[in-house]
Amino acid sequence: MLDKPASALRIRERLLESERLMEETGCYDGITELKLRNQDPLKFETLHTKLRAYCVSAREMARRISASPGVREVGEMVVAIYTPEGDAIALSNGIMVHVHTMSRFIKWMIREGYEENPGIRDGDIFANNDAFIGTVQVPDVMDVVPIFHSGKLVGWAGAVCHELEAGGITPGGDVALAQERFTEGLFVCAEKVGVDDELRRDYVIRCERNLRMPIYWVLDEKAKVASCIDMRESVKALIDEIGLDSWMQISKEFIEEGRRAQLARTRQLTVPGIYRGHTFYGHVTAGKPGYQPLGDPDWLYNMPIEMEITTDGKIVMDFEGTQPWGYHSMNCTPAGMDGGMFVTLTQHMNFEGLVNDGAWMATELKLPAGTWTNPDNEMVATATSWALLLPAYGVFQRLLSRSFIARGFVEEAFVGQVNSPMIEMGGTSQYGTPFGMAHFECAAAGSGALAIKDGLDTAYVGWNPESDMGNIEIWEQNMPMLYIGRSIVPNSGGAGKYRGGCSFLSTWLISKTDHLRLVTSEHSSRVFDNGGLCGGYPAPTCQKHRAVRDSNIFELAGKGEPLPHHTGTNPHRSELEIRLEGEQVTVEGPYITAPHKTGDVFTHSYNGGGGYGDVLERDPVKTAWDVENGFLTPEAAEGVFGIVLDEDAEGFPVANLEATKRHRAEMRAARLARAKPVSDWIASERERVRAADFAPEVKKMYASAIRLSPRFTRDFSDFWGVDGKAAFGVE
Amino acid sequence: MSSYSKEVIADLVAGTLPWPQTRRIMSAYKDDDRFFKYVAVLQDRVGWQDRILLPVSDHLFICESAEGRVTKCECGHSFGDYRKNWKLAASIVVRDSEEALREIYPNSDLPDPEWMEIREFICPECGTLHEVEAAAPGYPIVHDFEPDLEGFYRDWLGQPLG
């Protein structure tokens, strides 16, 4: 076996040298001049396009090997090609968040001396799902293979799939109940899991014996290995064509070009300065079964973000002032935070230039140690990192969008992503076999509004730009639940001149099982975890779960009586309560309860996006269309948007423009009459702040932020003219 | 490199440009002369003469006025020095009860007003809703944007600011 790096240096020394050169020159690997690009720009672009084609083709092939509807239907996979040092050169579409997390995984192995032991040889397969090494969460399992040419290490091919079952304390992948690392599921910590292009039998056995539904993980492993081998062979053929020296040079130029393109895009699309925003997340678990009393059960998370755009085009994101890590599953590692940054940049700014790790190199993340963004304890759980990661990067999208609006590129402004609540499940399948699965229809939420139009309805999530909810029939094959409804949720987008995209809600009948565990995650309680922009409102993102146990649905169906297909528009009495008899259940926070069985009914809704602009400027005609098609309720149209609707001869809503004008003038006057000067409001709130007259969780949030962050303490104290430490009893 | 007429930019900003044309603009290389055309479109829209230096929201602009560089509402109301947080000079409606939140969210599950309130920042003159914050009670008002106006004009636009 051959294990020589292409450079005369050992690979670890080469990595250190590459980092030193970047430090010294400011350019990737010391590439201060794009020689090959300048010699032949067309060839340069053509070769990168080839690499990208290798990635896209390998991913599509792999999706057809997978047994997982998450990968096959929804595309929960990404593949990429890396330099020997682990920097991404080219990538496929899909869950691009993992392109840089995989980079961290490769670099981790290099730094840990894997070249000596266990060795890096042609045909080896390495796997990882440890977020402190380089991924986001346990179900994000990645495989990489080294690429050797002429006996030298010339790169890596890597692939990630999001597994639908990870073998944690609760079934599924995003294990909401995990409070420490030890309950998250099956860990593979940068292991050599295969040699000679074949997965080791003992590794496969370990997977088979530690997962509820090993077919997903094991076949995904084979899919990933196949895609890596496919990319590896394509790269080797390319090197045969262009020569090894040329490959080693051009692969680095691709990354440096990507870095320069990112800086140029920032200078072209934005305005330098300081941008600030925040969002919140409510985690409510008091009284729920299964949680160990390791920390406080209920948490309110503040996520303040300060973004600086420097005049050289660098974007610096600072999370100072946010909350500490906790005994829950929502912590995030720096790898995950990197991933969030990378996938956001690829969507919003890297539509020109080469998309690769160069973009990430033109940014900087400041992640305060000890917070959920950078835990100073590697035992913490990260199984549902997305719960905090998505709202946080939704803020980033709004900050970027303000810069696009300032610069005039209004068509790029976008109110930002929302969380995508998930359902995990397991127990006995409809076939009578043990099973476990994550339901991935959440990959099609509503997007935030744009600055020129409404958001996308049921067609966007931040973590997979290739948004897809999957076909009902496929999901039904994989779980003991039948759809009795999949409906748009009216008013689920935030109100505004342009409304946020609407979400949907699914209603299921549990079928052919006497033991179905359902667990949900990544949905905020008691607070909205998103925002609007330029006067738009946040989307209503703290929905409760509604279910009926021991329902009479079969009896109703037998009689041909109407069945509930959604929860309806009355927040005080759902359609389930109106139409079904049985034990009515309403749950706030993660849905963790006793198992369900045949005849129970369960609902789960996803999130819409925030709105843009003053709601009183919304187009009345478009609003009538929204009401007609179930995106808005008539009471919202009139009460929130100020639009008076009549009915035409066939009973369809039509906007009454004159009455709308009058109604809006009244609403505007009422708004002004109700408002008070901000200075008066601050004066009236000051005593409440001084007395810390807040709910216990709010007080705890302030005390935690003040304890961790001098800047938050200073800003808080200066704003209110109150000693923040004294108010919240912080020493 | 792309370039569009002022009329096209005006329609784009107003949200009235037909979608196929908008989509082509989104997919094309960006037009490097956008900023000044954009500002010209906005300058035509506002009913006052002060020079717009930088738009900062849908109806808020930093402009050169007799009282210096200020943040100004489209109606002409000045919120004062652009370096200060305009929100502190605005009017506010705070929705911190179930009843007040229900007015905006008539058919949805609501936040707990003990955990989150909705703050609406309004022009005291024309009543335009400029910004909405969803925040925990007691959370300081955010200063959304402090542009590096000098750096932007000098280094990126290559144009004099004053």
* ipTM confidence score: 0.98
Looking at residue A8, its pLDDT comes to 63
Report CB contact under 8 Å: B109, A571: yes
pLDDT tens, position by position, A50-78: 999 999 999 999 999 999 999 998 899 99
pLDDT tens, position by position, A689-721: 999 999 999 999 999 999 999 999 999 999 999
Host domain of residue B21: 1-45
In the structure, what pLDDT confidence band is assigned to residue A1 with cuts at 50, 70 and 90?
very low
- Which stretches of chain B score pLDDT less than 50? none
Q: Which residues contact B144 (CB under 8 A, 6 or more apart)?
A: A275, A276, A277, A402, B56, B85, B87, B131
Chain B contacts of A537, Cβ < 8 Å? 104, 118, 132
**Statement: residue A470 has pLDDT above 70:** yes
Helices (H), chain B: 6-14, 19-27, 34-45, 98-104, 149-151
Q: What spatial distance separates the first Cα and last Cα of chain A, rounded to whole Å?
A: 61
Beta strands, E only, B50-124 = 51-55, 60-65, 68-73, 78-81, 91-95, 117-122
**Statement: residue A353 has pLDDT above 70:** no
**Statement: residue A269 has pLDDT above 90:** yes
Query: Does the bond joining B20 to the residue before it have cis omega, within 30 degrees of 0?
Result: no
Domain count of the fold of chain B:
1
pLDDT tens, position by position, A162-213: 999 999 999 999 999 999 999 999 999 999 999 999 999 999 999 999 999 9
Question: Cα–Cα distance between A168 and A183 in angstroms, integer?
Answer: 5
Say if strands B91-95 and B78-81 run parallel, antiparallel, or are unpaired.
unpaired
In a domain, B52, yes or no: no
> What mean pLDDT is predicted for residues A461-469?
88
> What mean pLDDT is predicted for residues A134-145?
97
In a domain, B23, yes or no: yes
Helices A386-407 and A334-348, axial angle in degrees (round to 10): 40
Distance from CA of B8 to the nearest CA of A (A): 12
**Statement: residue A497 has pLDDT above 70:** yes
Question: Cα–Cα distance between B24 and B28 in angstroms, integer?
Answer: 6
In a domain, B87, yes or no: no
Q: What is the per-residue burial (b if ≥16 Cβ within 10 Å, else e) of A11-47?
A: bbebbeebeebbeeeebbbbbeebebbeeeeeebeeb
Report CB contact under 8 Å: B106, A406: no
In the structure, what pLDDT confidence band is assigned to residue A92 with cuts at 50, 70 and 90?
very high
Of B111, B116, B122, the CB nearest to A675: B122
Rounded to 5 degrees, φ, ψ at A525 are -115, 145
Q: Which of A7-21, A418-432, B46-60 has the lowest mean pLDDT?
A: A7-21
Report CB contact under 8 Å: B12, A719: no
Looking at residue B130, its pLDDT comes to 98
Q: Which residues contact A301 (CB under 8 A, 6 or more apart)?
A: A280, A281, A282, A283, A322, A323, A330, A372, A388, A701
In the structure, what pLDDT confidence band is assigned to residue A342 with cuts at 50, 70 and 90?
confident
Exposed/middle/buried for residue A726 (C-beta within 10 Å: 0-12, 13-18, 19+) = exposed
Q: How many CB atoms lie within 10 A of CB A654?
A: 16
Q: Chain B: residue nearest A618 by CA?
A: B15
* C-beta of residue A458 within 8 angstroms of C-beta of residue A446: yes
Residue of A452, A572, A616 for testing the chain B interface, max B β-carbons within 10 Å = A452
Q: Chain B: residue nearest A298 by CA?
A: B115
Query: With an 8 Å Cβ cutoff, is B124 touching chain A?
Result: yes
3-state secondary structure A558-572: HHCCCCCCCCCCCCC
Report CB contact under 8 Å: A681, B135: no
Question: Cα–Cα distance between A283 and A325 in angstroms, integer?
Answer: 13
Question: Cα–Cα distance between B10 and B74 in angstroms, integer?
Answer: 16
Report CB contact under 8 Å: B145, A273: yes
> What mean pLDDT is predicted for residues A617-644?
97
Report CB contact under 8 Å: B147, A636: no
Distance from CA of A457 to the nearest CA of B (A): 16
Report CB contact under 8 Å: A452, B15: yes
**Statement: residue A295 has pLDDT above 80:** yes
* C-beta of residue A129 within 8 angstroms of C-beta of residue A217: no
> What mean pLDDT is predicted for residues A373-401?
97
In a domain, B41, yes or no: yes
Distance from CA of A701 to the nearest CA of B (A): 9
Report CB contact under 8 Å: A615, B129: yes
Residue of B30, B61, B115, B141 for testing the chain A interface, max A β-carbons within 10 Å = B115
In a domain, B130, yes or no: no
In a domain, B102, yes or no: no
In a domain, B148, yes or no: no
Query: In the numeric block, which tokens belong to residue A143?
Result: 């495989």
> What mean pLDDT is predicted for residues A385-412?
97
Report CB contact under 8 Å: A277, B87: no
Query: With an 8 Å Cβ cutoff, is B98 touching chain A?
Result: no
Distance from CA of A280 to the nearest CA of B (A): 7
Helices A214-242 and A244-269, axial angle in degrees (round to 10): 110
Question: Cα–Cα distance between B126 and B143 in angstroms, integer?
Answer: 22
**Statement: residue A6 has pLDDT above 80:** no
Q: Chain B: residue nearest A412 by CA?
A: B26
Rounded to 5 degrees, φ, ψ at A720 are -90, -15
Long-range pairs of A690-693 with CB within 8 A, sequence gap ≥ 24: A690/A720, A690/A722, A690/A727, A691/A727, A692/A727, A692/A728, A692/A729
In a domain, B39, yes or no: yes
pLDDT tens, position by position, A668-684: 999 999 999 999 999 99
Handedness of CA A346, A389, A76, A147 (dihedral sign): positive
In the structure, what pLDDT confidence band is assigned to residue A2 with cuts at 50, 70 and 90?
very low
Which of residues 132 through 161 in chain B touch A, CB cutoff 8 A? 132-149, 151-152, 155-156
Of A273, A274, A538, the CB nearest to B134: A538
Which of residues 57 through 86 in chain B touch A, CB cutoff 8 A? 57-59
> What mean pLDDT is predicted for residues A257-270?
94
Distance from CA of B60 to the nearest CA of A (A): 9
Query: With an 8 Å Cβ cutoff, is B115 touching chain A?
Result: yes
Angle CA A129–A134–A136, to nearest 5: 70
Q: Chain B: residue nearest A527 by CA?
A: B111
CA atoms in the 13 A half-sphere facing the CB of B116: 30
Query: With an 8 Å Cβ cutoff, is B28 touching chain A?
Result: no
Looking at residue A357, its pLDDT comes to 87
